[in-house]
Every structure is written in C-alpha cells, then in structure tokens.
Amino acid sequence: MENISNIIYKKPEDNLEEIRGKKVGSHEITIVDPDNPENWRSKVNFEYVSRPLPHYYLHTLDTDLAERGQRYASKVMDEFEALLHKTKRLGFLEDGIELNDPAYGMYERRGWRKLDEHGIYMFDPRPGHYSEPAMQEMINRYT
C-alpha cells in the first residue's frame, strides 16, 4: 500500500473482499480526507486482465454522497488514467452514471471513447499501437 498525500493506492492482495464465500481482490485508488484518512471521499476499483490485450477494467467509481460535485471523482479518474498511461494499458468501463446525475457524460468529456449503445467505454493511451484486428478482438470482449 502506497500513500501519497491524500491519495491511497491499494493492490488486490491488500484489498480483499468476500464475495459468495470467496476472497476476491481488486485494485483501488481512494481520495481520503487528509486530516482523517479513514474518511474516503471518492474511489475507483478496477482489475487487471491480460487477454486478449493487457487492460484494466473499471468496476466502480463512487463519490461519497456528501462530497459530490467537488471534483473528487475527476481527481480519482486523473490518477486512474495516469496509471493507464504509465503502464501503457487500455482502460474499459461500463458507464453507470444516471441521466439525472450532474456528472452524466463525464467519461466522454475526459476523452473516453463510447463503443456501443450499452455505454461501454474505452481509454487508449497509445492510439494506433495495436493492429485493427487485435483491437477489434479486444473490443468484442465487452460489446
């Protein structure tokens, strides 16, 4: 676990959750209250998948109800996207932001590409790096 000011990055082995009797780990980036680090403000959970192309799949992005509208989710996404750039891995997610949420549309505004009508989005830190068939096989996994 690495702490950088108010941003905490947990690796799957340090972030285990029991799901149907099985311990499952996920990566997590959390923004916390620096004066009270057990109070989280916004967090993102994601997993690493190596095939068909190395990528991270974002499972949840959540800001505490009382803390919304203060750009905490944007900061968490900045960190997540910085990791995608650093590791040169693709990012995928299914947009679950409700139409009446003021944050609606934030992934597109951040440069994520909408892949289908179900709201599957992709972030590519190295456009043009993979061949078109390889990228299509990757996209087909989620769409």
Ligand X SMILES: CC(C)(COP(=O)(O)OP(=O)(O)OC[C@H]1O[C@@H](n2cnc3c(N)ncnc32)[C@H](O)[C@@H]1OP(=O)(O)O)[C@@H](O)C(=O)NCCC(=O)NCCS
Residues contributing to the site for ligand X (CB under 6 A): 42, 61-63, 68-74, 95-97, 101-103, 106, 109
SS (H, E, C) the chain: CEEECCEEEECHHHCEEEECCEEEECEEEEEEECCEEEEEEEEEEEEEECCCCCEEEEEEEEECHHHCCCCHHHHHHHHHHHHHHHHCCEEEEECCCCCCCCCCCHHHHCCCEECCCCCEEEECCCCCCCCHHHHHHHHHHHC
Q: How far apart are CA 63 and CA 129, in angstroms?
A: 33
Task: Tell how far CA 125 is from the center of its chain.
Answer: 14
Residue number, 71 or 141, with CB nearest to ligand X: 71
Task: Tell me how far, at minimum, the Cβ of 95 lies from ligand X, in Å.
Answer: 5
Task: Tell me how far, at minimum, the Cβ of 14 lies from ligand X, in Å.
Answer: 23
Residue number, 70 or 140, with CB nearest to ligand X: 70
Task: Tell me how far, at minimum, the Cβ of 51 lies from ligand X, in Å.
Answer: 23
**Nearest alpha-carbon partner for 142 in 126, 122, 128:** 122
Task: Tell me how far, at minimum, the Cβ of 65 lies from ligand X, in Å.
Answer: 8
Residue number, 30 or 42, with CB nearest to ligand X: 42
Residue number, 5 or 131, with CB nearest to ligand X: 5
Task: Tell me how far, at minimum, the Cβ of 79 lies from ligand X, in Å.
Answer: 12
